[in-house]
Amino acid sequence: MSQVVTRQELRTDLQGFQNQCRERSRAKGCISSRAYDFLYDPLFIVSSERDHAQANIQATLVRSRLRKVPNFKSMFSNLMHYPRYSLYWNKSDPVPSFVSREWKGHEEKHKETLRQHAAIDASFQMPKEVYEDPEVSGRNRYKFFDRPFLPFLQQMPLNVVLTTAKMEPFDFSPTSKHTFILSKSTVGTQTDFRDADVQTDPYSPEYVVCQDTIPELLTLATLTWGRGLPAGQAEVEMIERVREKRAWEATLPPLSNISQFEKRRKMMNEMERKEWAFREHEIEKLQDLRLEVLKELLKKREENQQEVNLRRLNAQWCKLQEAKEAKLAQIQHRHVSRAGETAQQ
């Protein structure tokens, strides 16, 4: 069951708090923000967890969850001890349950701690940050494009700048002494990206294949720019292997000749063994490369660990040297003071 509050002073305190908030906002000359901007708006920044809690309390008070429930027996009463209505606290929360009410600064503190640890320990690797898709070509396209800033156009009306220029026929004869000046200028689009960042794949023209012919160039249709093109040593070796296999297929006996069936099977078994041997060789090469990369990583990790250990030992040695020098200075001071006392005696 819901709880009913019959105290009249709470209403007076709530109105007074709302009036104070309005007067402060008017005095500062700013527009009051929405109640739950600190939860929804990603650009709303709160300096500390204490301010976050204060904003939460203000949102709870300003967004009144109190409902007036009339008392039918004293509905038209003006007496304090017989109020005409009671205040009812509504339990329904205006913020959905899936919206987190925690302070967003904990994540930033965690990132700052990781950065400090990475600055101290060189072997520590920062976790990669995964950024969400900005959707440049989708719903967020308007955020990445803007009109160029032209100061001299600001004084002109908007409809004059954006209207299409209606060209009137003009005589461009050599005898004309007047120069043609456009009364309107074209407004262009200025983007935040360079041309090199939006380059597409090179253009591939259309082609027509003659009947009963298979050009050798079409066998390389799987190679695209950045994935095999421009061709390197590996691609050239692959093309040579494809040529050899095509020449071998031409020497195979036809399937219609039953007498050459055994020869065809032997040739195919030989070719299959060669292909398996080649694949095993490629796998061994890849494993060797991975082993070399792993060795380099282990070597780099050991060097970083040695550097960290050396730095730690140097710091400890410096600390012990400082303690030693302080102890020697103390002993020397004590010896000098005792020698002075004996001389005075």
For the chain, what is the HEC assignment? Answer: CCCEECCCHHHHHHHHHHHHHHHHHHHHCCCCCCCCHHHHCCCCCCCCHHHHHHHHHHHHHHCCCEEEEECHHHCCCCCCCCCCEEEEECCCCCCCCCCCCCCCHHHHHHHHHHHHHHHHCCCCCCCCCCCCCCCCCCCCHHHHEECCCCHHHCCCCHHHHHCCCCCCCCCCCCCCCCCCCCCCCCCCCEECCCHHHHCCCCCCCCCCCCCCCCCHHHHHCCCEECEEECCCHHHHHHHHHHHHHHHHHHHCCCCCCCCCHHHHHHHHHHHHHHHHHHHHHHHHHHHHHHHHHHHHHHHHHHHHHHHHHHHHHHHHHHHHHHHHHHHHHHHHHHHHHHHHHHHHC
Say if 11 falls within a structural domain.
yes
Please indicate, yes or no, if residue 242 is contained in any of the structural domains. no
Q: Is residue 58 part of a domain?
A: yes
State which residues form the domain around 16: 4-95
Residue 116 is assigned to a structural domain of this protein: no
Is 85 part of a structural domain of the chain?
yes
Q: Is residue 281 part of a domain?
A: no
**pTM of the predicted structure, to 2 decimals:** 0.33
Per-position pLDDT tens, the chain of length 345? 444 444 444 444 445 555 555 555 554 445 456 788 888 887 788 888 888 888 888 887 776 677 888 998 888 988 888 899 988 877 777 888 888 888 877 777 777 788 887 778 777 777 777 777 878 888 888 777 766 655 555 555 544 444 455 555 545 455 555 555 566 666 666 666 555 555 566 777 777 888 777 777 777 777 777 777 777 888 888 888 888 888 888 888 888 888 888 888 888 899 899 999 999 999 999 999 999 999 999 999 999 999 999 999 999 999 999 999 999 999 998 888 888 888 877
- Structural domain contains residue 101: no
Residue 44 lies in a domain: yes
Domain count for the chain, please give it. Answer: 1
